[in-house]
Structure 1
Amino acid sequence: MCPADRNHAASTAARLTALLTAFRPGDEALGVSELSRRTGVSKSSVHRLTTQLLAGGLLERDGAGVRLGLKLFEIGQLATRQRGLVDAARPYLADLREATRNTVHLAVLEGTEVVYLDILRGPDAPTLPSRVGGRFPAHATAVGKAILAHSPESVVDTVIAAGLARISSRTITAPGLLRRQLARVRQDGLAYDREESGVGVVCVASPLRSPGAAAVAAVSISGWTNRMRLDRVAPAVRTAALTISRTLH
């Protein structure tokens, strides 16, 4: 393949990726004009590319617009590492939810954000913005800090270099303070979110890891500040994380 062909293929792949990732939670169908606005891709290119995606089943026609297709779900199920992790963790997550009646999360780190692989919502828990497949800045979550604390220093450096965005009035935005918290997490095996990702919500998390290895994921419990005692649920979270970690060896 000549350089011109490689450049064209890369450009096409980038635009296809932009179109597929333009959809947001709650979107039903999007038209050509809206997709063009969100992606910066010309309307003529959007029309051509969506035609190709429709043919492949990655998009589906919905009235005058298009929506994400079932084929994407099928492809997602082939992500075996994540699927195996979810299957291994699910019984322990269910036990945590049953015992606490609060919301339980399983998440991994990707770049500077956590991606939620599984969420079991508790009947006594607040309505949270997290969703399966959703992302959130790692520094503002307990699961993110649990993973970062057991990640290579270069990973932490990347998160800090990207900027510690303020998600709530209590989000940690000072690099030095974040590093000190991560050191404490390494010592205790527990990470906390005290209204850092949202007002009125607290969370405690623990990493999933092999002895001496970096964290591959983290589990957490989230609840109302005035209802959930972090000191009471933290041991259960840590025990669940240690047990799941043993099943991954």
Structure 2
Amino acid sequence: MVTDSERSDPTRESSVLLRGLAILGCFDSPMPVITASAIVKQTGLPPATVHRILTILIEGGAVERVSRGSYRLGLKMWRLGSSVPQARVLRDVALPFLEDLYETTHEVVHLAVRDGLETLYIEKISGRGAVSVTSRVGRRLPLHATGPGKVLLAYGPRDVFDQLVARGLPALTPQTITDPDAIRRSIAEIRRSGYALSREESSVGTASVAAPIFGSLREIIASVSVVVPASTFNPWTLAPVVRAVALGISRGMGAPSR
């Protein structure tokens, strides 16, 4: 039983909050539903502690119980995430351009940002006839394995590449580039051309063109891409269109015209 003194103990309250954040962090995965046992394994917390904190998160609307022992993020977390100022402004500015890109290509269109050493997809537009991809809003993939990620890597802080190599470069498909020197050459080419090409590096049967989106300080803040079937991939046609869309979004975000 928790006493009044324990409830008012700042150290204990901080500990509970950190444990709650650790549990919420477990939902940061491609799988939308996770089990309590998986949370225990990922966090190293005792099962009783995980169960108690999950109960609190469910009462607060941050987590939903899907079935016995299985959970997913609640709508409250989605609403909070959607209200983050930078992401909200970026999506609001980018959406008309993304819709134009979709209407021009009728293929999968992505808007992505860098989150640590990963590509985070924050918007996706797709139609029934578009190529099948595994991406979804909120999904994260390694920077080196995606077109948008390589763009973010090419124009981002130089130490991010070193951190990525130190962590390891997993292969998502047989075509994923995992050699550091090859990725370094790819990054140099992206900076020269202004766009990234990716063929079957993140999913078999797909190819993409991605371009950088810059902010008011000429810093990279996101990347935009279009994904097409690898069998019909024509980068020389797609690249100018994707670059034009990226330029339009950049100007909308206050980037200098030059």
Asked if 1:179 corresponds to 2:184, the answer is yes
Aligned-residue sequence identity (percent) comes to: 39
The residue aligned with 2:142 is 137
The residue aligned with 1:191 is 196
The residue aligned with 1:207 is 212
Structure 2 CA distance for partners of 1:75 and 1:174, relative to 1, 3 Å? same
**Contact kept? 2:62, 2:77, Cα under 8 Å:** yes
SS class of match (1:83): helix
The residue aligned with 2:113 is 108
SS class of match (2:123): strand
Distance in 2 (CA, whole Å) between partners of 1:205 and 1:159 is 20
**Contact kept? 1:101, 1:123, Cα under 8 Å:** no
Structure 2 CA distance for partners of 1:76 and 1:168, relative to 1, 3 Å? same
Asked if 1:59 corresponds to 2:53, the answer is no
Asked if 1:230 corresponds to 2:235, the answer is yes
Q: Unaligned regions of 5+ residues in structure 1, if any?
A: none
How far apart are 1:37 and its partner, in Å? 4.3
> Which of 73-82 and 98-107 deviates more?
73-82
How far apart are 1:210 and its partner, in Å? 4.2
Distance in 2 (CA, whole Å) between partners of 1:64 and 1:141 is 36
Structure 2 CA distance for partners of 1:247 and 1:221, relative to 1, 3 Å? same
Asked if 1:22 corresponds to 2:26, the answer is yes
SS class of match (1:129): coil
Distance in 1 (CA, whole Å) between partners of 2:89 and 2:216 is 19
Q: Deviations over 1:32-77 (max 9, x none)?
A: 4454345432221112212221232212345545442221122112
How far apart are 1:159 and its partner, in Å? 1.7
Q: Deviations over 1:14-43 (max 9, x none)?
A: 42123223345554574x445434543222
SS class of match (1:222): strand
**Contact kept? 1:104, 1:222, Cα under 8 Å:** yes
Asked if 1:44 corresponds to 2:37, the answer is no
> Which of 207-216 and 172-181 deviates more?
207-216
Structure 2 CA distance for partners of 1:46 and 1:210, relative to 1, 3 Å? closer
TM-score (norm 2): 0.86
Aligned residues: 244
Distance in 2 (CA, whole Å) between partners of 1:29 and 1:182 is 36
How far apart are 1:223 and its partner, in Å? 1.0
**Contact kept? 2:216, 2:253, Cα under 8 Å:** no
How far apart are 1:127 and its partner, in Å? 1.5
Cα RMSD of the aligned pairs, angstroms, is: 2.2
Structure 2 CA distance for partners of 1:125 and 1:9, relative to 1, 3 Å? same
Q: Deviations over 1:54-112 (max 9, x none)?
A: 23221234554544222112211221100110111111111111111110000000111
Asked if 1:148 corresponds to 2:150, the answer is no
Distance in 2 (CA, whole Å) between partners of 1:139 and 1:102 is 22
How far apart are 1:146 and its partner, in Å? 1.0
How far apart are 1:197 and its partner, in Å? 0.8
**Contact kept? 1:107, 1:143, Cα under 8 Å:** yes
Distance in 1 (CA, whole Å) between partners of 2:67 and 2:176 is 42
**Contact kept? 1:146, 1:182, Cα under 8 Å:** yes
Q: Unaligned regions of 5+ residues in structure 2, if any?
A: 1-8
